[in-house]
């Protein structure tokens, strides 16, 4: 399926439904050209991980050993490509279908049928442009007959150079091992953020940073002096965790609003809600929104 372009005022967004329902461009018109607000994706790209933003469900991050147990059922999931464990669920590796489309809005849908992940579900993703920005909504609905653990997020990727700075209020950083898994899944595995640990004090460009934070207030500002703007990212109140990834070999970085802690599915069920995992009854949904707008 071809790219679908959305326009409203000076904003433009381009989506490729068959490539994991991914957003490939988010741009604003300036001085007769298009200024990228997210990483721009080549039209030849076939890897969702190279796109501007993709959906994350039914879990975020990695699962220790590629497995977890829920209500006595062991779930074992395969690793993803070069990664030793499953990564970011699997809706981003699924072709999505167009549900509705207008000049400024697009709704996509995909359905999962029980397999190694034994619970069927449906997912919808809506992209809406207005004169002031882009809003992305993600909804996952349990379409089966049993309760299903669920976690969702979005994975936007932004241009990055030596001047790029990130401002976001967070309470604690999660101590992660070399496999980007929590060293200690309990609250004692969190390190309180002090003044000198604030995100705006950290180098982003090609830093190799791969960090998770708790107690996020739901707003982040990305300052791009070289591009001449500040971009504001806001997320739903229930999304209180932020993951920041800055690859050491590329001029980009990711600021990922997510609902649950990494590997939270391996906690006892009584602790899932505290870690941000939602247990969906049959017919129940989990949803989130993320909005991008220029900061005055």
- Decide if pLDDT at 189 tops 80: no
CATH number at residue 156: 2.70.98.10
Residue 58 — very low, low, confident or very high, per pLDDT cuts 50/70/90?
very high
The mean per-residue pLDDT over the stretch 233-259 comes to 97
What angle is formed at CA 188 by the lines to CA 185 and CA 189, rounded to 5 degrees? 50
Query: Whole domain around residue 27: which residue ranges?
Result: 4-294
Residue 188 — very low, low, confident or very high, per pLDDT cuts 50/70/90?
low
- Decide if pLDDT at 244 tops 80: yes
Separation of first and last alpha carbons in the chain: 37
Secondary structure element (H or E) that encloses residue 271, with its range: helix 269-272
**pLDDT value at residue 214:** 94
Cis peptide before 120 (omega within 30 of 0): no
Q: Is residue 184 within 8 Å of 191, Cβ to Cβ? A: no
**pLDDT value at residue 191:** 87
The residue behind tokens 């992660």 is: 176
- DSSP-based three-state secondary structure for 128: strand
The mean per-residue pLDDT over the stretch 113-119 comes to 97
To the nearest 10°, the Cα dihedral for 249, 250, 251, 255?
A: -110
- Decide if pLDDT at 187 tops 70: no
**pLDDT value at residue 24:** 97
Average pLDDT, the chain: 95
The mean per-residue pLDDT over the stretch 77-90 comes to 90
pLDDT per position as a tens digit, 120-150: 999 999 999 999 999 999 999 999 999 999 9
To the nearest 10°, the Cα dihedral for 195, 201, 206, 210?
A: 20
Residue 45 — very low, low, confident or very high, per pLDDT cuts 50/70/90?
confident
Number of domains within the chain: 1
């Amino acid at each position: 399926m071809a790219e679908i372009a959305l326009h409203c005022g000076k904003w433009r967004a381009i989506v490729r439904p068959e490539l994991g329902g991914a957003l490939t461009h988010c741009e604003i018109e300036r001085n007769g050209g298009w200024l990228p607000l997210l990483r721009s994706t080549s039209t030849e790209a076939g890897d969702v991980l190279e796109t501007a933003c993709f959906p994350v469900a039914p879990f975020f991050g990695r699962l220790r050993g590629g497995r977890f147990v829920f209500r006595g059922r062991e779930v074992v999931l395969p690793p993803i490509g070069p990664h030793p464990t499953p990564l970011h669920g699997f809706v981003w590796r699924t072709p999505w279908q167009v549900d509705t489309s207008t000049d400024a809005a697009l709704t996509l849908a995909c359905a999962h049928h029980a397999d190694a992940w034994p619970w069927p579900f449906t997912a919808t993703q809506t992209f809406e442009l207005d004169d002031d920005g882009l809003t992305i909504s993600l909804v996952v609905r349990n379409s089966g007959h049993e309760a299903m653990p669920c976690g969702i997020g979005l994975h936007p990727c932004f241009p990055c150079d030596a001047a790029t700075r990130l401002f976001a209020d967070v309470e604690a950083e999660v101590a992660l091992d070399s496999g980007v898994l929590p060293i200690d899944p309990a609250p004692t595995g969190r390190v309180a953020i002090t003044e000198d640990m604030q995100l705006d004090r950290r180098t982003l460009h090609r830093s190799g940073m791969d960090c998770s934070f708790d107690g996020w207030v739901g707003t982040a500002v990305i300052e791009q002096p070289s591009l001449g703007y500040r971009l504001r990212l806001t997320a739903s109140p229930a999304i209180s965790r932020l993951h920041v990834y800055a690859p050491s070999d590329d001029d980009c970085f990711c600021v990922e609003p997510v609902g649950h802690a990494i590997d939270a599915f391996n906690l006892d069920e009584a602790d899932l809600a505290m870690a941000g995992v939602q247990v969906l009854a049959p017919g129940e949904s989990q949803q989130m929104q993320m909005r991008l707008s220029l900061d005055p």
